[in-house]
Amino acid sequence: MQEIVIERNLSNVNFIKRILKYQLKFYFTQISSVKFNENNITIQATEYLNKEEVESTLDGIMNKLSNTALIGKQNTLFDSRENGSLDKFHVNIEKKHRDTFVRSVKRTLEKNLENNLCSFKKTFEKYNYPISIGINAYNNNYIKLYTFLDELIKAYFEEIYGVEEINVPSMILTETIDKSGYFETGCQHISFVAPITNNPSKFDEFQKKYSELYKEKQVYNYVKKPKYILNPALCLHCYPLLKGYKFDTKSDVILTVKGSCFRDESGNLNNQERLHEFSMREIVFFTNDYKIKKYQKESINFFYLLGRLIGLDFKLEIANDIFFSDNAEKQLFSQLISDDKIELCIYCNNVSEYISVASINKHHNHFSKPFELKDENEKLINTMCIGFGLDRLVLALLNINQNQSIDQFRQKLLENLKCI
- What pLDDT does residue 15 have? 64
Query: How far is it, in rounded angstroms, from Cα 165 to Cα 111?
Result: 20
Please report, as a single letter, which amino acid is at residue 68: T
How confident is the model at residue 115, as a pLDDT? 63
Q: What is the pLDDT of residue 328?
A: 46
Angle among Cα 378, 382, 388 to the nearest 5 degrees reads: 150
Mention every residue, 6+ apart, whose C-beta is less than 8 A from residue 34.
20, 21, 24, 25, 41, 42, 43
Instruction: Tell me the Ramachandran region of residue 288: left when phi exceeds 0, alpha when psi lies from -120 to 50, beta otherwise.
Output: beta
The pLDDT value recorded for residue 164 is 97
Distance CA 332, CA 112 (A): 40
Query: What is d(CA 193, CA 190) in angstroms, rounded to the nearest whole number?
Result: 10
Instruction: Kindly report the length of the chain.
Output: 420
Report CA torsion sign: 42, 317, 74, 20: positive
Characterize 40-57 residue by residue with b for buried, 16 or more Cβ atoms within 10 angstroms of its Cβ, and e for exposed: ebebebeeebeeeebeeb
Smallest CA-to-CA distance from 168 within 337, 26, 281, 10 is with 281
Closest by CA position to 227, among listed 251, 195, 250, 183: 195
Q: What pLDDT was estimated at residue 71?
A: 55
| Residue 323: predicted pLDDT | 45
pLDDT for the residue numbered 203: 83
Q: What is the pLDDT, as a whole number, of residue 119?
A: 59
pLDDT value at residue 135: 96
Q: Which alpha helices (DSSP H) does 285-336 contain, by range?
A: 289-310, 328-336
Q: What is the pTM of this model?
A: 0.89
Instruction: Return averaged pLDDT per consecutive 10 residues of the chain, 420 residues in all.
Output: 85 72 89 88 92 89 69 75 75 89 96 70 86 94 95 98 97 95 84 90 84 78 90 97 91 96 93 96 96 96 96 89 48 54 92 93 95 94 97 93 86 92
- Strand ranges in 127-264 using DSSP code E only, listed in sequence order: 128-132, 135-138, 164-167, 171-173, 192-193, 228-230, 246-247, 253-262
